[in-house]
Amino acid sequence: MHGERRGDEVVVGGDARQRFYDASGYGRPLEGNEVALSRVEAAHLLLRGDVETVADAGERMGFQAFFADSTGDGFGVRFLVYSDLRRRGFYLSPAREGWVPDPAEDVDFVVYPRGKGPQEGDVAYRVRAVGERTAVQATDLGDRVLAVVDEESEVTYFETEHIDVDGGTETDLPEGVPGSLLADRVLLWDPPADLHRRAFYGQQLAEREGVGTDALQLSLLEAAYLAARGAVDVEAGYEGIVDAGRNVEGDRFDRRLRAYAALREAGVVPKTGFKFGADFRTYREVEDVESLGHSERLVRVVPAGHTFLPRDLALDVRLAHGVRKEMVFALVPGESDVEWLAVRRLTP
Amino acid sequence: MHGERRGDEVVVGGDARQRFYDASGYGRPLEGNEVALSRVEAAHLLLRGDVETVADAGERMGFQAFFADSTGDGFGVRFLVYSDLRRRGFYLSPAREGWVPDPAEDVDFVVYPRGKGPQEGDVAYRVRAVGERTAVQATDLGDRVLAVVDEESEVTYFETEHIDVDGGTETDLPEGVPGSLLADRVLLWDPPADLHRRAFYGQQLAEREGVGTDALQLSLLEAAYLAARGAVDVEAGYEGIVDAGRNVEGDRFDRRLRAYAALREAGVVPKTGFKFGADFRTYREVEDVESLGHSERLVRVVPAGHTFLPRDLALDVRLAHGVRKEMVFALVPGESDVEWLAVRRLTP
């Protein structure tokens, strides 16, 4: 079978309609038996030997010439993702006008459920294909699979989804517990025991010794959240705590405080995620710190306009997977509510 | 027992020499039975109740007043690390003139082997204590334990060590294999099989299909390394490959190429570490890609003058630990040889 280049497409005739489109989900049907293939589809069929050559202005190209001729605008990356998904047994279409209904700008491929093709209209994944060095806007993620081609041409898939956070931790806060703001933490010298034991605020100063004080160390985030609700009282006030926070980490403190507060308000308990290189690990339901379960999520806080480098995503998601937690990004906008973006490793 | 503040120290008398120094490794002995305690040692003994008060200008302070009076210059961080190591059963001394021989500027504590104290002169760890927001110079690491206090006052320990990289992979390179530089990779259309199979260069274009071409995709790093040694020949030459690399990742490409070359020259095989968010995963010895073992290390390449944020270190080291690999940073200076810094999680 031989094809012919027409603009950005390759047209194949003969039994193409039955063989390529009906039986294997390639291309978009034209009049009669002809099928138009996108360049990645044509390159894939050339590599498999199902199409022998593509003629362009009289020149007949095999895979090598066609591939070398097609680089630029991410063709190589799209080709590798397309081929990888085909190898995994999926039919898929370029997300282009004429191939799929309602193509979206930030989607490269529409992948059909295994065993199905473009005829049925069901969709398994909407895939965006990028190279590992391409930064990706946070706003372009969610309800998308990000397929990243690394520098050695391997493909890694990330499923991205907007989620709600929701927990079952109920807390009665005390009123006006006095504390001291000391450098980058707040000490409560004689707090009510439930503040730590039930609501899981702070860390006991002498917890593991069984000697010393009952003092509770609060992080600046915990202290600011509690001070804003009248539960903790330090001489410098809520503003003094926030100033101390901004002093050590700038704007980041404000973003983290908003994410922290949104989690607490949803009944979820955030504690530091430092050991995992994240902002928080979170517990859906805490009744007593003595019988604390597994924390379910790792949260990294970023501005809503953040761009992700795929390598950083790979690091976070791989780590979270390794410790059996879900990686969630808190996207913090200027004014409106915090949004939550879950990113998971996907093996299609 | 009561202490008395003298300058930056707290002096205790009575049976202090025997009770604190000889039996428990606190302080430095003065004349007679007196012992001078550093502020962290004094605070620790106050918290335990072994010292009841410290007098300063006539005022007697308990733990709370002494602690609140001592913040600034990282006192809180040092106190938490000191207490944590004591709780773990170690004796340790502040790395100060009079307490230990040859104190180093970037070390806060000298920790003695379990069961030993300052009298014997053996050292288990030299510890630097920092808060999680304090950036640490790469040049200050190696032969040190970095103790990081996170915002919730938990301590995480990282052992840092300069290492040599050394492998057993032997490779005969071919000569002048022709290739095409296509965007951000190089394709060898008809390479000798051993280039991939034995020396583990590149990724086969149609590996898993068993159909298509024998073409090998090289990363720009692999291609540049091979072109510099005459093994691969592309029209744009070595310089053309390096230009393409700089074009997609700037200076970082040059640093990574130097680390890549140093690893290959040492008989170690570096492949992409993308799935782990690192620059490379490395194999000490490759004989045949069909019988490839476990990669032993993850390598992140940084400039020699890099400063680490403890949170980033925590992320890398935790991930490496989870996949049973050693985390190694390649410190790439302007001119001299690449240095290798291994960082491991430590539970003292």
Of A209, A226, A207, the residue nearest A218 (C-alpha): A226
What number does CATH give the domain B171-250? 3.40.1170.20
Q: Which of A26, A294, A306, A321 is catalytic?
A: A294
The answer, for B156 touching chain A at a CB cutoff of 8 Å, is: yes
Mean pLDDT of B110-132: 95
Question: How many DSSP H helices and E strands does chain A contain?
Answer: 10, 23
The answer, for A141 touching chain B at a CB cutoff of 8 Å, is: no
Closest alpha carbon within chain B to A271: B152
Closest alpha carbon within chain A to B222: A152
DSSP B146-161: EEEE-TTS-EEEEEEE
Mean pLDDT of A304-320: 97
User: 3-state DSSP: chain A helix, strand, coil percent, rounded to 5?
Assistant: 30, 30, 40
Using pLDDT thresholds of 50, 70 and 90, give the confidence band for residue B211: low
Residue with tokens 């915090």: A338
d(CA A99, nearest CA chain B) in Å: 26
CATH class of A171-253: alpha beta
SS3 A56: strand
pLDDT per residue over B154-172, tens digit each?
999 999 999 999 999 988 9
The answer, for A202 touching chain B at a CB cutoff of 8 Å, is: yes
Q: Under a CB-based contact definition with an 8 Å cutoff, are residues A199 and A142 in contact?
A: no
d(CA B117, nearest CA chain A) in Å: 21
- Residue B212 in this model has a pLDDT that exceeds 80: no
How many whole angstroms separate alpha carbon B19 and alpha carbon A271? 39
Record: contact B277-A316, CB cut-off 8 A: yes
User: 3-state DSSP: chain B helix, strand, coil percent, rounded to 5?
Assistant: 30, 30, 40
Record: contact A183-B208, CB cut-off 8 A: no
pLDDT of residue A331: 98
Of B232, B274, B247, B270, the residue nearest B184 (C-alpha): B247
Of B64, B131, B182, the CB nearest to A184: B131
Mean pLDDT of B193-220: 82
pLDDT per residue over A235-267, tens digit each?
999 999 999 999 999 999 999 999 999 999 999
Record: contact A150-B212, CB cut-off 8 A: no
Contacts of B278 in chain A (CB under 8 A): 315
- Residue B192 in this model has a pLDDT that exceeds 50: yes
Record: contact B64-A213, CB cut-off 8 A: yes
* The A9-12 sheet, strands edge to edge: A28-29, A35-37, A9-12, A2-6, A53-56, A59-61
Question: What pTM does this model have?
Answer: 0.94
Which A-chain residues 97-126 have CB contacts (< 8 A) with chain B? Answer: none
pLDDT per residue over A126-155, tens digit each?
999 999 999 999 999 999 999 999 999 999
Decide which of 3.30.70.260, 3.40.50.1370, 3.40.1170.20, 3.20.20.140 is the CATH code for A2-131: 3.40.1170.20
How many whole angstroms separate alpha carbon A272 and alpha carbon A203? 11
pLDDT per residue over B237-258, tens digit each?
999 999 999 999 999 999 999 9
Using pLDDT thresholds of 50, 70 and 90, give the confidence band for residue A335: confident
SS3 A77: helix
pLDDT of residue A212: 57
pLDDT of residue A207: 46
Of A48, A71, A315, the CB nearest to B277: A315
Of A291, A259, A285, the residue nearest A272 (C-alpha): A259
> What's the whole-number average pLDDT of chain A?
94
How many whole angstroms separate alpha carbon A283 and alpha carbon A298? 10
pLDDT per residue over B7-50, tens digit each?
999 999 999 999 999 999 999 999 889 999 999 999 999 998 89
pLDDT of residue B69: 84
Contacts of B40 in chain A (CB under 8 A): none
The answer, for B153 touching chain A at a CB cutoff of 8 Å, is: yes
* Domain locations in chain A as residue ranges: 2-131, 171-253
Q: Which of A275, A283, A306, A321 is catalytic?
A: A283
- Residue A73 in this model has a pLDDT that exceeds 90: no
How many whole angstroms separate alpha carbon B9 and alpha carbon B94? 12
